[in-house]
Structure 1
Amino acid sequence: MKKQGTVVRWDAERAFGFIRSPQIPADVFFHLRDFTGHPGPREGLQVTFDEIHVGGKGPRALSVSASTNTILAPTAETPPDEAALLPPGRRATPRSTPPHLKKRDDRLVWSALGLMALWLLLWLIGIGLGRFPWVVLTGVVMLNLLTFYVYWRDKHAATAGDWRVSENQLHGLALAGGWPGAWFAQQILRHKSSKQPFRSMYWATVGLNYLGLLAWIFWPQLSGV
């Protein structure tokens, strides 16, 4: 039998939340993947769901959907749905990214790729000057693959409600030289790509990585050693 409740907590970053129902003494846990409907879960939304119990973890909700009798009061700030303004038989077309925003995103992508190319060039210069052995490139590649995997693991843990990787560990991998892998993970997995404090710290680790690499390569020449 379907139960009714209200979403009392929703963590969009970690993709899970809790439902409070008068029929159940404890708040009920649910994942985003257990929710069906549009636009998605939010705090205060009335829902129906099936309750299950997994081990000793407490109640969990499956087949969560918005209650059909949920009525959202219109506000002056909320414009009518575009579909309601179209003639019958026509569908609203999705909005494309404004040209100026698309150009800005393209510039950011090319800037990041340019930084990676320059970073790789510095490694090759260091190898040519005898500061690093050739085998170091293998270590750099492995570190970046590891960084991408750790991001993927953290993304999976966020949706599954499992143990998360700390942000300090992610920044540590970037600082050690895994920042290109971190960048690709942010773009491909869409993980940690919109959290501004994290992004600011990430770019700080990129700058520190550059400074450390430059100092290691050129300090002997500058100091006369």
Structure 2
Amino acid sequence: MKRQGTLVRWEKERGFGFIRCAEVSADVFVHLRDFADRGLTPQVGMTLTFDEIHVGGKGPRAVAVQAAGAMPRREQQQPRRPAASPRPRTDRCRDAAPSSSSSSLPMMLLLPAYAALLGYGVWTTRIPPIALGVLLLISLLTFVVYGVDKNAATAGRWRTAESTLHLLSLIGGWPGAWCAQRLFRHKVRKTSFMAGYWATVLAHMAAVGAWVGKFLPAGLLAL
């Protein structure tokens, strides 16, 4: 059934919000991908028409969302423009390859250096062997948190704060974060986030290097 309501909340960064409709008891969840006009910029206060659905026992959700008064888009009524020649798939692969390899190269250098630093720290007794297990668990935890956040982004649920992801990287989970970014294709296109991520990697490496190099007092570990 077609309904009409007012957009009362919109989370721009997360791409979802809520519509208030007099005919529905609860605010209706709406995701950016459910707008019929992908060029529309949702704004709080705008009047929207939508179809109400219920999925998996959750609250009401809006689909086929349009600004009130907007005409449905009918591609067959629009004049056809000459189709641009598609770029060969091989060209796209060549374009993507430098970006992937350029981001992987620093990590391929950092991981062996990090392993050597930890190994030297254990050999000199500056790092207890149990710390290696703890760091591995933190990396695994970070990997899982990234996966959960990617799933939440796809489903339109509440997201993990970027500060939490950075904190996990800073305390030693950055290898797991890097693996999750590549496997889930998550956050890699956001320049500001990736800049923060690399800052946590360098800060962690610097802290471990200072500890192993005895630039930090041994008594600090007891704190």
* TM-score after normalising by structure 2: 0.68
How far apart in 1 are the matches of 2:13 and 2:101? 25
What is the match of residue 153 of structure 1? Answer: 148
1:136-180 CA deviation, whole Å, 9 max, x = no partner?
A: 221111110000111122222233343332222111111101111
Change (3 A) 1:179 1:197: same
Answer yes or no: is the 8 Å Cα contact 2:50–2:62 preserved in 1.
yes
Cα separation, 2, equivalents of 1:100 and 1:61: 38
More displaced stretch, 12-21 vs 111-120: 12-21
Amino acid at match of 2:207: G
Contact map agreement 1:29 1:60 (CA 8 A) in 2 = yes
Shift of 1:189: 1.4
Shift of 1:9: 8.9
Shift of 1:40: 5.5
Q: How far does residue 194 in structure 1 lie from its aligned partner after superposition? A: 1.7
1:70 alignment counterpart: 73
Letter in 2 for 1:29: F
For 2:195 and 2:186, locate their aligned partners in 1 and report how far apart those are by CA, in whole Å: 15
| 65 and 28 in structure 1: CA distance in 2 versus 1, 3 angstrom threshold | same
Distance in 2 (alpha carbons) for counterparts of 1:163 and 1:65 = 21
Equivalenced residue count is 205
Structure 1 residues 33-67: Cα deviation after superposition (integer angstroms, max 9, x where no partner):
7x499x967537xx98531368xx974224x3889
- Once residues 129 and 144 of structure 2 are traced to their aligned partners in structure 1, the CA distance between those partners, rounded to angstroms, is 24
Deviation sequence 1:8-49 (CA, Å, 0-9, x none): 99868635356799998998433467x499x967537xx985
CA–CA distance in 2 between the matches of 1:52 and 1:204?
44
**CA distance in structure 2 between the aligned counterparts of 1:111 and 1:193, rounded to whole angstroms:** 15
Alpha-carbon distance change, 195 to 29 in structure 1, aligned in 2, over 3 angstroms: same
TM-score (norm 1): 0.67
Call closer, same or farther: CA 1:41–1:128 in 2, change over 3 Å: farther
How many percent identity over aligned positions?
A: 40
Match of 1:89 in 2: none
- Distance in 2, matches of 1:221 and 1:65, equals 58
Name structure 2 gaps, 5 residues minimum. Answer: 43-47, 219-223
**Residue 124 of structure 1, CA deviation:** 0.8
Shift in CA distance, 41/169, structure 1 to aligned 2, threshold 3 Å: same
Q: Who is 2:187 aligned against?
A: 192
**Alpha-carbon RMSD:** 4.4
CA distance in 2, matches of 1:205, 1:36: 37
**Offset at 1:186?**
1.5
Distance 1:27 1:198, change over 3 A: same
The gaps in structure 1 that reach 5 residues or longer are 87-91
Secondary structure of the 1:50 match is: strand
